[in-house]
A and B are shown apart, each in its own frame.
Chain A
Amino acid sequence: MLPFEIRGVHLLDQLVPYVVATPNNAAHLNLQPFGVAVAAENVIDPLRLDSAIFLDLLHKLDGLTFGPEGMPMPKWVFYDCAEVPGAIYGLARPAHQVWPKVRELFKIPDGYQGLVPVSMYVAIPMQRQGTWFGHNLSSLAPVFRRLELLDDLDLAGLGSLTKGLALKCFGVQQFWGATQWLSKALYIHVKFGPLELQTAFTPAHSEHETLTYGFAVTDAKLRASMGDPSVDLWRPPVDFWLDGHDILAMIALQDRLEAGERFCIPEAPRRSGDTQQVPIAQIG
């Protein structure tokens, strides 16, 4: 049980946390983020044969989440970029308790007694202790909605809860990540507070219309992200709005960033027809 109030608290009654990390890396993690303990048997070693089915299920979770958007993660990327250098944190359901439709969706092998992941957060350590690059947030919640799998199961807040607990587990002090200007995930990201922009147009990424954002991590921000109503984060006023389809505006903003100006996304975007208006504040 978390020591503060959140919207999706019932999720922790229905799901159990897990971590994927090598033994060497696991020793560097907080396996009781905000007091939510990861059981020793739910720390999965990616270097062992008996982890294979669970890791396959994680790959399926990623495919179910990102397949429709065309950015599913190859298995070698999981291994080389996440499981060996960093860690994966998520929430799962024991196979013997898993819902029949989910069992079918994942094609769970007969006799499998392990965990079935319903969410995961993947991050990669950067060049300083406590500095991480967020790589992937997967959650079955939108899949359930899209496929109308379980009408009576409320998975709202699963993504935010998973990311908040994951950042605490990993000991993240400075977070960096990348997303697209039109991504709905921006609504989750701004729950952590204002997002400082590092890029606004990113030719190194498959989608040039990608922004790179970051924030210093505090417990208050993590609690706010998970829905603790007692936390109120300061946000600077909006200076202008950027249309998620306006590439020229992204390039102009990128040029200003490269020239040394500083900007942030202070609050949630606004949907507007088939586009998204993203607020921008100048901070230096």
Chain B
Amino acid sequence: MLTHYLPILDQLEPFLIAHDGIRGDLQLSPAGIEIPPQNVFHPQHRKNGEFLRMLALVDQLTFGPFGMDMPSWVFYDCAVMPGAVFGLGIRAHKLETWAREAMKVPADYDGLVPMSQFIAIPILSGFVPGRAAPRTWMLYTLESMNQVSAGIAPFGTLHLTLFLGLHVFPIEELWGATQWRSPKLDTYADLGPLELRTAYTPAHSLPRTFSFRLTISPEHLTSVLTAPRVHPLAPPPNALLDVDDVAALQALQREIEAGLRVEVVGRPFAHGTHVRVPLHRQALEPQGASDVAL
């Protein structure tokens, strides 16, 4: 399954940033790909400061244009202390000169330079009896330098990072929040049908954000890499959402709050300036209905 992505690992190496408390819960050989011990960084050790600075730059370059770059204090408090960071990086000497300059790599640095990162943090409701680590996690960040500098890293780096990141963390249920017009919606749609928890989110800096929930299964992990035209677990679409129509997003949000179950069941598509996202709308069964059916 990994075959057509494996050449990425000729250039890039997996890395992990995790403190001692969480490291034991993480898979250090995701999908059989070993994270080299020298690429497992402790976020609180001084010697890792340069690598962490470059990781902050990746975030600044990819999320800055959205007004959502992550200050380092947020990275520390909200990401690397509650959760951990998985990513792919390249040895500094393998970078071309222009790329070294773009990443502000110091002249005497020959360590790893991050090209992508996947961050997940625990969600309170994920703690269940009989299990030490939480089963529910928030996909806090997924980003690749290719988003802003196509070609600086191998094609497919983002997908492979997501695929391996989902193997690193013990995630059974994944939550996430992203913008309706984000190109990454393609990647998330490849994961499988995304159950919408919000369709319009005024609590977020960008209200045209949606929140989703997904139970992770082997089919979901596989489909990130195979990118099927129709996801095997997705029901057929029965509605199209105009993601630039705020009134439509708000109306959908009210329906979700009223109990309507809505899933994103495919990648967005565009005709001219019109962007549509395929949805499956399914009203929840009235309480007790399943008992009656049984």
Which residues from chain A sit less than 8 Å from chain B, CB to CB? 21-22, 24-25, 27-29, 46-49, 51-52, 55-56, 71, 73-87, 124-129, 131, 133, 135, 176, 178, 198-199, 201-207, 210, 212, 251, 254-255, 258
Contacts and interface: CB of A to CB of B under 8 A. Distances in A.
Nearest to B140: A80
List the 5 shortest-distance A-B pairs measured between CB atoms, nearest first.
A203-B49, A81-B78, A24-B125, A52-B202, A206-B72
Nearest to B206: A76
Interface string B64-94: 0001101111111111111100000000000
B205 A76 contact: yes
A84 B79 CA distance: 14
Interface in B194-241: 197-198, 200-206, 209, 211
A28 B134 CA distance: 13
B160 to A, nearest CB: 23
A55 B203 contact: yes
19 contacts: A55-B203, A77-B74, A79-B204, A80-B140, A82-B78, A85-B121, A124-B81, A127-B21, A127-B83, A127-B134, A202-B44, A202-B76, A203-B48, A203-B52, A204-B43, A204-B48, A204-B72, A210-B73, A258-B44
Nearest to A251: B46
Nearest to A177: B77
Interface of B: 21-22, 25, 43-46, 48-49, 52-53, 67-68, 70-83, 121-125, 127, 132-134, 138, 140, 175, 177, 197-198, 200-206, 209, 211, 250, 253-254, 257
A204 B44 contact: yes
Contacts of B68: 74, 76
A103 B116 CA distance: 45
B22 A204 contact: no
A229 to B, nearest CB: 32
A81 to B, nearest CB: 4
A84 B175 contact: yes
B203 A87 contact: no
A74 B70 CA distance: 9
Contacts of B132: 128-129
A115 to B, nearest CB: 15
Most buried by B among A87, A126, A203, A204: A204
B81 A133 contact: yes
A75 B205 contact: yes
